[in-house]
Structure 1
Amino acid sequence: MSDDYDTPWKDALTRYFPEFIAFYFPAAYRAINWTIPHVFLEQELAQVVHDAETGKRRVDKLARVALLDGAEEWVLVHVDVQGNYDSNFAERVFIYNYRIYDRYRRPVASLVVLADGSAKWSPDSFSYSLLGCAMGIRFPTAKLNGFAPRLEQLLGDENVFALVTAAHLLTQQTRGQHVQRRDAKFRLARLLYERKWDKQRIVDLFSVIDWMMYLPPGLQKQLMDDINGLEKERGMPYMNSFERRGLERGREEGRKEALSDLLTRQLEKRFGQLPDSIQERLKEAEPADLQHWGETLLDAPTLDQVFNRC
């Protein structure tokens, strides 16, 4: 419950969309005219997914892009950051695609990135047929664990999402190994400082890595002290004290939100719709309380007993 993915993925995808497409879907990247700015269609996507079954650990982005032949087309990106097998995932991609066509009469390219750890699950289609009628969709899929054999190559790649993917893989490899994660995180930070990137890009990418690779407070302080030393060594003060405090606040708020969302889903799955009072309590709770309730949930036979109300 400590590793948070949805917000950093959304931030990185939004800020560096062309590089996202270039890294995971190079054929699509080559077909798009990137000299014409892309436009995110937030309202259009919201209309389509309003009533859909969506998990809170997924990132969906709908964008309008210009192709090399001058046509304007729509691209729908799904990043499944939950990291779990989902037998309904391909169907969901199909539903979103046809809902967009149904509402807007626009063809849409669905592109999928999967963060689960399975070596076998790689959905790339959904279809059905009945009485001579066939309906379905095929879509490109990029699996993050498929990049694992290329980890060292990723660390040398200049694409933003090479480092984001490396951070994801290192997060998975160091789960429960805090010292090793601290070392991996510092290695990524050092690589950022070695790039000839502008300050904003380095700060943005460190925010993503920092959010992904959660460390206990003591090790996090050690890491930030080491990064401060690295900045002084290189004469590159990218993060002032205000920005550092902002990173810490945003990181803790994001962790709290992720814990609250996960516990809410677990409680609803076991006990059904939660009373408004419980939902409010979950939103206002501190991370320590949320973790305690998550542990209590394992054995508590009733919702009241989860919260020690009887």
Structure 2
Amino acid sequence: MTDQDTARPTDHDSPWKEALEYYFQEFTQLLFPAIHDEVDWSRGYTPMDKELQQITADAESGRRHADKLIKVQARDGAETWVLIHVEVQGEPEDAFAERMYTYQYRLRDRYGIDVVSLAVLADTRSSFRPMCYRYARWGCELSFTFPTAKLIDWEERWPGLEASENVFALVVMAQIKAKRLKQGASRKDTKVALIRLLYERGYHRREIMRLFHIIDWMIQLPRELEPEFVQAVHAIQEERHMPYVNTIERLAIEQGIKQGLERGLERGRHEGVEGTLRKLITLKFGDLPAWADKRLASATDTQLDEWVLQILSADSLDTLLGKH
């Protein structure tokens, strides 16, 4: 079983929520252009996460999708909140359309303004395309429709995604490949290709860091392939003459600490922290030498915790682990 097979649903929720928060305009422009044209983007937009949590607090725990509520200004001057349900893990769900309607009427009832519900379907079942919720009984009838975007439909337009100037095209490509590719080597090669494309587009440093983070979290690799991925990224950076190495290493390390500690709670704390530290050492210093492997294998919980905290500032593996 690979690392991506054991990832929790929240491993995918966070990159999607981050992508939607920072690139909401680009998201609508790519996937919902008609909606995009109705918004006054010069007024900006406001994420409303706390308000959405109040509406969805009683929803079933462990559901495999990410929610985002955004407040925007319509071009005609009317405020419009946009509720976005993103099925980041792509599992078809019989009750999906009904849930979309439930959140729609709860939001409208609570805030008394127009609500537009959008759905992004990231699963790979072509037949799963919910667009409407209907209910009828004894002459009383209700019909609620909502726009949807099926990501696998973009596979036929892959060259268009690769050529797109829209930054959200990279997010869509990463999600599609994360779902389609199961074999580790293929995932690694595809991830490297997306990172190369990211660098070739000439984005500013902050943009590269943010998109690198999203892609890195979406397409997870087996532990044994992480060193090859890191080496490939270094090669791309040197080729493009972009001095972002230290920042990207730090970003990957910080993300690895968060993910690894979460997994540690599931697998057993010692095993989880040790596995995380091994990955972080590989990311920063390269392949693990035999002496370091022995040090990690015999370390106490306290030692592991100290090394995880110190790795960001350590300038060498000898300094970090105290080679004797």
Give aligned-pair identity as a percent: 39
Q: Which amino acid aligns with 2:192?
A: F
1:55 Cα offset (Å): 3.7
The C-alpha deviation readout for 1:205-259, integer Å capped at 9, x for no partner, is 111111111112332111211211221222111231x5413313414533664x6
- Unmatched segments (≥5 aa) in structure 2: 274-324
Greater relative contact order (Cα < 8 A, sep 6+): 1
Write the letter of the residue equivalent to 2:153.
Answer: G
Answer yes or no: is 1:250 the counterpart of 2:255: yes
Matched residue type, 2:137? L
In structure 2, what is the equivalent of residue 307 of structure 1? none
Contact 1:94 1:136 in 2 (8 A): no
Cα-to-partner distance string for 1:140-185 (whole Å, 9 max, x where unaligned): 010111111122321221212211111122223321x222221111
Which one-letter code corresponds to 1:144 in the other structure?
L
The aligned residue for residue 199 of structure 1 is: 205
Superposed displacement of residue 284, structure 1: 6.5
Shift of 1:287: 7.1
Deviations 1:285-308 (A, max 9, x none): 46769xxxxxxxxxxxxxxxxxxx
- Whether contact under 8 Å (1:113, 1:144) holds in the other structure is yes
Aligned length: 267
- What is residue 265 of structure 1 aligned with on the other side? none
What's the offset of the Cα at 1:43?
2.4
Contact residue 256 and residue 287 of structure 1 kept, 8 A: no
Please name the residue that 1:65 is paired with.
72
- 2:198 is aligned with what amino acid? L
Q: Please state if 1:226 is matched with 2:270.
A: no
CA distance in 1, matches of 2:66, 2:259: 15
Contact 1:7 1:254 in 2 (8 A): no
CA displacement at 1:60 relative to structure 2: 0.9
- Secondary structure (helix, strand or coil) at the match of 2:221 reads coil
Residue 172 of structure 1 pairs with residue 179 of structure 2: yes
> Which residue number in structure 1 is paired with residue 155 of structure 2?
148
SS at match of 2:133: strand
Measure, in 2, the Cα distance between the counterparts of 1:46 and 1:103. 13
1:227 and 1:150 map into 2 onto residues whose CA distance is 26
| Amino acid aligned to 1:111 | L
Partner of 2:97: 90
8 Å contact from structure 1 (residues 80, 115) kept in 2:
yes
Q: 2:87 aligns with which of 57, 65, 80?
A: 80
Distance (whole Å) between structure 2 residues aligned to residue 123 and residue 9 of structure 1:
20
Of 104-113 and 44-53, deviating more is: 44-53
More displaced 10-residue stretch of structure 1: 51-60 or 120-129:
51-60
Distance 1:285 1:146, change over 3 A: farther
**What are structure 1's unaligned runs of at least 5 residues?**
261-280, 290-310
1:217 — aligned with what?
Answer: 223
Residue number among 25, 30, 52 corresponding to 1:45 in the alignment:
52
SS in 1 for 2:58: coil
Q: Per the alignment, in what secondary structure is the counterpart of residue 83 of structure 2?
A: strand
Per the alignment, do residues 158 and 194 of structure 1 end up closer, same or farther by CA in structure 2, a change over 3 Å counting? same
RMSD, matched Cα: 2.3
- For the residue of structure 2 that corresponds to 1:116, the secondary structure is coil
Task: Give the TM-score taking structure 2 as reference length.
Answer: 0.76
Using the size of structure 1 for normalisation, the TM-score is: 0.79
Contact 1:2 1:214 in 2 (8 A): no
- Verify the 8 A CA contact 1:155 1:162 in the aligned structure 2: yes
- Tell me the distance in 2 between the aligned counterparts of 1:58 and 1:117: 15
CA contact (8 A) 1:57 1:82 kept: yes
Aligned residues of 1:211 and 1:251 also touching (Cα < 8 A):
no
Secondary structure, aligned partner of 2:118 = strand
Q: 1:9 aligns with which of 16, 28, 42?
A: 16
Residue identity opposite 1:253 in structure 2: K
- Separation in 2, partners of 1:37, 1:92: 28
SS at match of 2:43: coil
Please state if 1:183 is matched with 2:189. yes
In 2: Cα distance, 1:247 partner to 1:282 partner: 21
Alignment of 1:125-140 (within 5 A): 125-140=132-147
Following superposition of structure 1 onto structure 2, how do residues 95-114 of structure 1 map, counting pairs within 5 Å? 95-114=102-121
Distance 1:61 1:50 in 2: 14
